[in-house]
Amino acid sequence: MIISVASGKGGTGKTTIAVNLALSLGDVQFLDCDVEEPNAHIFLKPRLTDERRIFVPVPEIDESKCTYCGKCREVCAFNAIAVLGGTGPGGGSVLVFPHLCHGCGACSIFCPEKAIKEIGREIGMVESGIRDGMGFVHGRLNVGEAMSPPLIRKVKERADSARTVIIDAPPGISCPVITAVEGSDFCLLVTEPTPFGLNDLVLAAGMLRELKIPFAVAVNRDGIGDGKVDDYCAGEKIPILMRIPFSKEIAGAYSRGEPAVSLFPELAGQFRDLFSRIRTVSGSS
């Protein structure tokens, strides 16, 4: 079973819940798909045993073959290629803007002179390892790289279908989070009881409905703010599966990179209950 933990708004406690759920269950595989800001390793402290550099294809032009016909520019939907005039070899120039390239392959397929070959451009790293019995994989996007989805797909390719997989998704409601949660059996949306938390929960719930992924809510920092998240969930019949009260002790442990269950072992039972509830509401018990 694949459970992803997501939230529209960042900083609601997504990583806290994913990490503590994983530690409480023990025998799971943890995939940190927040490749822009991977944080789970700070808490899980896995022993990393493997590291792979991840590449995406970008075109490379062989100007000795190129006739500057402009076909590659015409087929590129992302303005990632510019062709500057000229006729015979060396008469003009072709510029590739790697950060705009989606690696779709259209330019190399359509170049009439077979002057384009694809080379790999590194966008980041996938690292994996173990912590006690738990499998751990995360991605790290290189600084300055714009597109995280190809790297997120590489992290997800490592999912072990024989185990319970917990995915820590990036925040938001657009491409990175969609790439991360796609294919999950269930998604737990973490929110906090503030107007920001509610606003972003509504957006994230809309996204999961579109993706047809069953979901429920966990309320973190319960007790701050107001009761409008509860009202919304009641009105929409979205189950609230867990509430974690605001506590300076938990916040303090978080700030030092210590998982809450290491400090308060009694919490592990609550996270195991959360898992049973997830199995019940997702119908996979």
Q: Interface with ligand SF4 by CB under 6 A: which residues?
A: 59, 61, 66-72, 75-76, 78, 80-81, 83, 94, 101-107, 111, 113, 115-116
Report, in Å, the least distance between residue 76 CB and ligand SF4: 3
Q: Work out how close the CB of 94 gets to ligand SF4 at its nearest, in angstroms, rounded to a whole number.
A: 5
Residues 237-256 within binding reach of another protein (CB under 8 A): 248, 251-252, 254-256
Query: CA separation (Å) from 211 to 162, 177, 182, 214?
Result: 24, 11, 7, 9
Of 141, 166, 180, 274, the one binding another protein (CB under 8 A) is 141
Contacts with another protein by CB under 8 A: the residue count is 58
Q: Does 15 bind another protein (CB under 8 A)?
A: yes
Closest approach, Cβ 89 to ligand SF4, in A, equals 10
How many other CB atoms sit within 10 Å of the CB of residue 212?
Answer: 6
Smaller CB distance to another protein: residue 27 or 231? Answer: 231
User: 167 with 3: CB under 8 angstroms?
Assistant: yes
Closer of 9 and 71 to ligand SF4 (Cβ): 71
Site for another protein in 24-83 (CB under 8 A): 36-37, 39, 42, 75, 77-78
Residue 80 binds what, of another protein, ligand SF4, none (CB under 5 to 8 Å, by partner type)?
Answer: ligand SF4
Helix axes 14-25, 267-281, angle to 10 degrees: 100
CB atoms inside a 10 Å sphere around CB 208 = 22
Contacts with another protein by CB under 8 A lie at: 8-12, 15, 36-37, 39, 42, 75, 77-78, 102-106, 109-110, 141, 143-148, 170-176, 178, 182, 192, 194-196, 199-200, 203, 206-207, 209-211, 224-226, 248, 251-252, 254-257
